[in-house]
Amino acid sequence: ISPDIVVCDIMLDEIDGFEVLNQIRALEQFIHLPFIFLTARADFMDKRRGMNSGADDFLTKPFMAKDLVETINSRLTISSQKKVSVVNEIKKNAVDIFFSVSSKEYLNPLESIVNLSDTAIHQLNNEQYSNLKMLLTEINNEGRRVLNTTHKLRWFNQLANNINPWAKPANRGMINIKDIQN
């Protein structure tokens, strides 16, 4: 279970709140977890130290319950907006990557496949068999290049959508080329 927010006092028995904050921020999954300090110490240096360590807010004791609720709600709203922003940025990056990759990693090899296969067909029609093996090898290489790029883009898309692309689902809907040949 992952927390939505941390509310922590600075003065604790075993370690202080600054150490709690440092330990939480050291965990990758909690880098953006909203963190609010409660403190009886209204010292500017403590606040500055907390903010420099990654605290999101401070409440000085004594405080009213209403202030705590408002602060928590505010931090949860900001955190939610950041998550939406990150998801949108990932999707935008996926589109940008697709467009930048599409010409280099799709159009170039596909043009090669068409040109090489046209040449192979022409040679077959003219019964010129000497270069066919080389042409078919190049067609195969370019096809594999497109296939590898497609796999990478699919994996990126799955990762961007929190799907493990290497999990072994019951059926991915993949077609085995050997099944087609039979």
pLDDT per position as a tens digit, 130-181: 888 899 999 999 888 888 888 877 777 777 777 776 666 554 444 444 444 4
Q: Which two tokens mark 27? A: 């965990």
Which pLDDT score is estimated for 169? 59
Residue 18 has pLDDT above 70, yes or no: yes
How confident is the model over 33-50, as a mean pLDDT? 84
**Which pLDDT tens digit goes with each residue over 83-142?**
777 777 877 777 777 677 666 777 788 888 888 889 999 888 888 888 888 999 999 998
Is the separation of the CB atoms in 131 and 117 below 8 Å? no
Is the separation of the CB atoms in 6 and 35 below 8 Å? yes
Q: Which two tokens mark 77? A: 């709203």
Return the DSSP state at 105. I
**Residue partners of 24: CB distance under 8 A and separation at least 6:** 6, 30, 33, 35
Q: Which residue has the higher pLDDT, 156 or 16?
A: 16
- Single pTM value for the model: 0.49
The one-letter amino acid at 125 = N
| CA distance linking residue 169 with residue 67, whole number of Å | 48
Q: Is 31 helix (H, G, I), strand (E, B) or coil?
A: coil
Residue 66 has pLDDT above 90, yes or no: yes
